[in-house]
Amino acid sequence: MTLTPPATAEAAAARVEPAAVDTIEGRSPWQLAFVRLRHDRVAVGSSAVICLIVLLAVLAPVVAHLLGHGPNQQFRTTGLSAEGIPVGPGSTFLFGTDDLGRDVLVRVLYGARISLLVGVVASGLAVVLGVIIGLAAGYFSGAVDTVLSRFMDVVLSLPYLIFAIALVSLLGPSLMVSVAVIAFFSWASVGRIVRGQVLSIKEKEFVEAARSVGAGHLRIMFVDILPNVLAPTIVYATMLIPLSIVFESTLSFLGIGVLPPTATWGNMLSESIAYYRVAWWFVAFPGLALLITTMAFNLLGDCVRDAFDPRGNRLFVAVED
């Protein structure tokens, strides 16, 4: 390539314009966020902790089998002292026992199953509900928006504990009811976030462009707008999981969640408060489990938000590969 006459240079340049980047396939914003997450030590650490908790929850029956301690099995002779006080951590009971002589370790692991299940399922329900309603409210402004927004306001302003107690006393406490109650009181905040995002995104020219090529409402909502509100939603969902876990524990603690003798962290904490002076392990391990789990999710949520933060994206200089 020595000399190029201007006329052909121009014609050729139209085709060779993208001089800087030479990858054929671009990395999606999701992939970029994932790459950033992978390089974030906190994100990797908290994900590892979450994975470990999930693994332990899944393997809870195996651990119970290996130890030979069922979750609701009471060891009145080995698990309680002569005065009926729980036994502290030792070789038989690694985390000690509770007031009924049950193995705290096994119960914490079984509790993790309930907590994670409720946390994930309730948050998932809340997100799906919130996204759909928020999307509809933001996209169809006017009457639809007014009705849906007011409804969200009402849900958000309900004193949720009182309502939860009332609902549970009406329906009777159970796992399903807990999930439903948590989802019901969580979706509205998701809906509000989504609505706000949609309001700003639907003013973008690409939405106009979609309309001008003849795209219908559903296509615009789900193909053009939804992917753009998903990032903040995912961040919020990650934060919602620990909230739901705490919510479930609260319900259980108050005795309106999952009923004893099923092991949940809330139930265990509730049972342990009378014993915190004589049996610290009884409070400490379920409390610690709750703390570590929520912390891990919250930290991960922070990292996910950082990974999606457009500031890392703004400077488009194509040097990757």
Binding residues for another protein, total number by CB under 8 A = 51
Binding pattern for the stretch 161-200 against another protein, x by CB under 8 A and - elsewhere: ----------------------------------------
Binding pattern for the stretch 90-119 against another protein, x by CB under 8 A and - elsewhere: ------------------------------
List 206, 261, 274, 295, residue binding another protein (CB under 8 A): 206
Binding pattern for the stretch 28-57 against another protein, x by CB under 8 A and - elsewhere: xx----------------------------
Q: How much helix, strand and coil, in percent to the nearest 5, is found in the chain? A: 70, 0, 30
Structure token pair of residue 310: 């457009």
List 38, 76, 150, 204, residue binding another protein (CB under 8 A): 204
159 or 216: whose CB is closer to another protein? 216
Segment interacting with another protein (CB under 8 A) among 84-92, 215-223, 271-279, 281-289? 215-223
C-alpha Rg value of the chain to the nearest Å = 26
The region, left, alpha or beta by phi > 0 then psi within -120 to 50, assigned to residue 41 is: alpha
Spatial distance between the Cα atoms of 130 and 186, rounded to a whole number of angstroms? 8
Question: Tell me, what DSSP letter sits at residue 68?
Answer: T
68 or 312: whose CB is closer to another protein? 312
Longest dimension (CA), the chain: 101
Segment interacting with another protein (CB under 8 A) among 62-70, 151-159, 211-219, 274-282? 211-219
Distances (CA, A) of 262 to 46, 59, 92, 113, 202: 28, 17, 22, 11, 47
CB contact at 8 A, 139 and 221 = yes
Query: C-beta of 53: minimal distance to another protein in Å?
Result: 32
**Helix, strand, or coil (residue 227):** helix
Binding positions for another protein, rule: CB under 8 A: 2-7, 9-10, 12-21, 23-29, 204-206, 208-216, 219, 223-224, 227-228, 230, 312-313, 315-320
